[in-house]
Amino acid sequence: MKPFLIPLLLALSAVSFPRGGTAEQPASDVPVRAVKISFLPPPMEGTISLGIYDKKGKLVRVLHREAEIDDFTAGQDALRTSWDGKDDAGEAAAAGTYSARGFVVGDLNIGDPEEAPPDKLISGEKVKVKLVANPLNGDVRSTIGVTAGLDEDASFLAATDGLPLYTVDEAPGLMRVSLTQRPDRSLDLIEDDGDSVEQYHITGVEKMMAFDCGEFELK
């Protein structure tokens, strides 16, 4: 993927369209109750994970997971996407204030799987990772909590709010995962498939940038 070096500007536009409305109708492939989101990601090479959050900061929808820049619509001065107003379960979200924010994650280094003691799986923790400074946010190096996640297809690194960030092992049928941090700040993701416990050593985890698209109203 090519780096995307973009001027220091961030914009978000959000419009909710009631059924039968006539003003500024969305494109035919965009749901009627839609929120249009335009944003400039941080100037860093990587994949984009973007979540929708309610007013209390709870993740209600994983809008994009490890997406390439080509997965977005390129506008004149920003990338564009839309939210259909539904949560991850496919249910309509309540009207109210929401926000969109996410991360650009570089190409992390994943080691080969190694046998791990079962007690290391139990000792998993939420770790802190210091991110690369984002010039869109005043070059402040923020710190986020990272944990291990799993679904029916893979294990992955995730923000502690649940937003998936980076797939570690494409392995269906995993039962448990956990995460530990070494003194050098690198990570070990430990996974249990019911037959064996293995770990993956992960370096370069600081190759992440956070970005915030701001708040909007869902009608």
Question: In degrees, to the nearest 5, what angle opens at C-alpha 48 toward C-alphas 11 and 125?
Answer: 120
The whole domain housing 142 covers 109-208
SS3 content of the chain, % helix, strand, coil (to 5): 5, 45, 50
- Answer whether residue 219 is part of any domain: no
- pLDDT by residue (tens digit) across 168-214? 999 999 999 999 999 999 999 999 999 999 999 999 999 999 998 88
Distance from the first to the final alpha carbon of the chain: 36
- Answer whether residue 154 is part of any domain: yes
**Number of domains comprising the chain:** 1
Please say if the pLDDT value at position 3 is more than 80. Answer: no
| Model confidence, pTM | 0.82
- pLDDT by residue (tens digit) across 13-60? 333 323 222 223 344 454 557 899 988 877 899 999 999 999 999 999
Distance CA 103, CA 152 (A): 23
- Answer whether residue 74 is part of any domain: no
What pLDDT was estimated at residue 141?
79
- In terms of Cα–Cα distance, which of 165, 172, 169 is closest to 155? 169
- Residue appearing with tokens 């092992």: 169
What pLDDT was estimated at residue 16?
33
